[in-house]
Structure 1
């Protein structure tokens, strides 16, 4: 059975590790199936757009992701609009994806379920 990423904890990333390989990304991706792996500026990122019924709910979700990010010491790009929030995770220190990004993507999914 695969580990439950949403129960994981982020570990400090000092930048001395390489980003996840394509094979490692592909092995973790099924655990966050609604996320897209995108390439931006030669770096892989995880990105997902969540849809909500109004701005107030989108803003509440943004706040909850921000609080979780602060608790884990790992911060995303959050773009909040009426009825939707785009969340992008990647690890700046290694210019790519780390297990922490998948953990936070799974946590974001759980948070979205609680605000709908």
Structure 2
């Protein structure tokens, strides 16, 4: 399988299929710090990132926002003192698409830098 780090998001229409269970399990192996959560009946990827203070958390939030704008794919982001919660899912299909796993990987890279 191709590493998620080398992939770009693809255009996704409202009739695009949600990711299959086998592929989902495989892709989750590439992003072990992320959890599957279900909110409002939609499966999403979620991770909480920890920081030493609010300024670092805010700077990270801005980096994730820039990544999202560049791909036209936007997460839910909760900024708090010392932590940021990011949730990725594809709004148009009401669940998970490969794009969400790609963006989770890019979010991890932004956190590591």
- Report the TM-score range of the alignment, normalised by the length of the smaller protein: over 0.9
The DSSP-based 3-state class of the residue aligned with 1:17 is coil
Give me the whole-angstrom Cα distance separating, in 1, the residues matched to 2:49 and 2:103.
Answer: 14
Q: Does 1:27 align with 2:26?
A: yes
TM-score by length of 1: 0.93
Unaligned regions of 5+ residues in structure 1, if any? none
* Partner in structure 2 of residue 52 of structure 1: 51
TM-score, with normalisation over the residues of structure 2?
A: 0.95
- What is residue 102 of structure 1 aligned with on the other side? 101
Q: Cα RMSD (Å) of the superposition?
A: 1.0
Give ranges in structure 2 of 5+ residues lacking alignment: none
Give the count of matched residue pairs. 113
Task: Find the counterpart in structure 1 of residue 70 from structure 2.
Answer: 71
CA distance in 2, matches of 1:11, 1:89: 15
Q: Distance in 2 between matches of 1:82 and 1:7?
A: 32
**Tell me, what secondary structure is at the counterpart of 1:31?**
coil
